[in-house]
Amino acid sequence: MSAVAGAPAPTVVAGRPGIAARLASLLRQVLASRLGLVGALIVLAVVLAAWLAPVISPYDPVAVDLELKLQPPSLAHLMGTDQAGRDILSRALWGARVSLLVGVIAVAIGLVGGIVLGTLAGFYAGTLLEQAIMRTVDALFSIPLLVWAIAVVGIVGVGPITLGPLSIPNEGKVILLVGFLYVPAIARVTYSVVLAESRADYVRARRVQGANDLEIMATEILRNCLSPLIVQATLFIAIGIIVEASLSFVGLGVQPPKPSWGSMLADARGYVFSGEWWLPVFPGLFISFTVIGFNLLGDALRDVLDPRKREAGLVV
């Protein structure tokens, strides 16, 4: 290392800064806004809680102890215990794992599906392929995908799916269906950007240089979709967490005894009338704060990335 210590730092010759530099500058601008900072801190806290759940949870989240059931919050159990004597704080910390898992992977699936469809349709505008893709997207927009997700999980059943040695729990289906929920919206955003950019001079210039369609799509055009998609992805994580919790609440999401916020609230339903307020209150606060965090972060990102500050359309 010492040999190059005296060498001048490599400078970026091209006019465009690299992705890493752009992300760093983006992060700086987001953290500069007060609400963006709050959102980022909440998201960071939830990510840490999910990651460190095995270390920081005071108790085993699934250990049943009927002698300790329905204890109000105390120093030993900061958020009390549930009907099976399980520590609510520990269950809520572990519940963050499933929520984030579903939220993030579902968005990843939605991004892959939506970007592929949107890019193809936008790039091959005027062809049958564009018509086929965009009419399908229109059709998907015109049906209630949440109801369909509920019906599909209900009909297929909530049991795990076994693929050889692998056993995929019901969350797998939930992730897939929530991801599907995002595809039409992401496809539309990508489509509109690609449609505008694929006629731009720099794309023509790249073609003259001998770049093929795939290269141009992968390098030049997707770069322009990055800004709106980062905003959407963040806001969609928030929606995914709410959808997962709602599905788990009605018994079609994460299956007990695995801790999740939605199923904790399903358990709490029976204690709403009898005064054990800590059962319904704390898991809901976890959901709400997490979702507020992602929403604030998404709004701050939009303020930086989208000068027109468009509101995201409805997806659920």
Partner 1 sequence: MLRFILRRMVFSVGVLLVVSAVIFLLTHLVPGSPAIIVLGADASSEQVREFERRYGLDRPLAVQYLAWLRDIVLHGDFGRSYISGQPISGEVARTFPVTLEIVILAFLFCVSVSLPLGIVSALYQGRLVDHVARIFAVIGVSVPGFWLGLMLIVYGAVHLRLFPPGGFIPWSAGLGPHLQSVVLPALALGVYYTAIISRMTRSSMIEVAAQDYIRTARAMGLSRRRVLQYALKNALIPVVSVSAMSVGYMFGWAIIIEQVFNIAGLSRALLSAIFQRDYYTVQAVVLVITTVFITANVAADVVYRLLDPKIRGVAA
Quick check: 40 binds partner 1 (CB under 8 A)? no
The piece of 3-11, 14-22, 207-215, 268-276 that touches partner 1 (CB under 8 A) is 268-276
Residue 51 C-beta: closest distance to partner 1, Å = 22
CB 101 to partner 1: min, Å: 18
Q: How far is the CB of 232 from partner 1 (least distance, A)?
A: 14
CB of 18: closest distance to partner 1 in angstroms? Answer: 32
Q: Which long-range contacts (CB under 8 A, 24 or more apart) does 171-176 make?
A: 171/98, 171/101, 171/102, 171/244, 171/253, 171/254, 174/102, 174/106, 174/149, 174/244, 174/247, 174/252, 174/253, 174/254, 175/101, 175/102, 175/105, 175/106, 175/109, 176/106, 176/109
Question: Under rule CB under 8 A, which residues in 200-259 are in contact with partner 1?
Answer: 238, 242, 245-246, 249-252
What is the pattern of x (binds partner 1, CB under 8 A) and - over residues 296-315?
A: x--x--------xxxx-xx-
Among 69, 284, 303, 305, binds partner 1 (CB under 8 A): 284
Residues 120-159 that bind partner 1 (CB under 8 A): 135, 138-139, 141-144, 146-148, 150-152, 154-157
Q: Least distance from C-beta 217 to partner 1, angstroms?
A: 28
199 touches partner 1 (CB under 8 A): no
Only one of the segments 98-106, 122-130, 195-203, 282-290 lies at the binding site for partner 1 (rule: CB under 8 A); that segment is: 282-290
C-beta separation of 114 from 182 below 8 A: yes
- The greatest distance separating any two alpha carbons of the chain, rounded to the nearest whole angstrom, comes to 76
DSSP 78: T
Percent helix, strand and coil across the chain, each rounded to 5? 70, 5, 30
| Three-class DSSP category at 90 | helix
Instruction: Give me the least distance between CB of 43 and partner 1, in Å please.
Output: 13
Q: How far is the CB of 106 from partner 1 (least distance, A)?
A: 16
Shortest CA distance to 54 belongs to which of 111, 96, 8, 103?
96
Secondary structure (3-state) at 277: coil
Rounded to whole angstroms, the Cα distance separating 187 from 209 reads 28
- Bridge partners (DSSP) of residue 167 are 162
3-state secondary structure of 101: helix
Output the six-digit token pair for 104: 């993030």
CB of 253 to partner 1, least distance (A): 11
By the 8 A CB rule, do 178 and 311 touch? Answer: no
Q: Is the CA virtual torsion 195, 196, 197, 203 positive or negative?
A: positive
When the beta carbons of 27 and 146 are compared against partner 1, the nearer one is 146
How many residues sit close enough to partner 1 to count as binding (CB under 8 A)?
50
Nearest distance in Å: CB 273, partner 1 = 6
C-beta closer to partner 1: residue 139 or 196 = 139
Among 79, 231, 291, 297, binds partner 1 (CB under 8 A): 291
Q: Between residues 142 and 209, which has the closer beta carbon with respect to partner 1?
A: 142
Residues that bind partner 1 (CB under 8 A): 135, 138-139, 141-144, 146-148, 150-152, 154-157, 238, 242, 245-246, 249-252, 265, 268-269, 272-273, 275, 277, 280-281, 283-284, 287-288, 291-292, 295-296, 299, 308-311, 313-314, 316
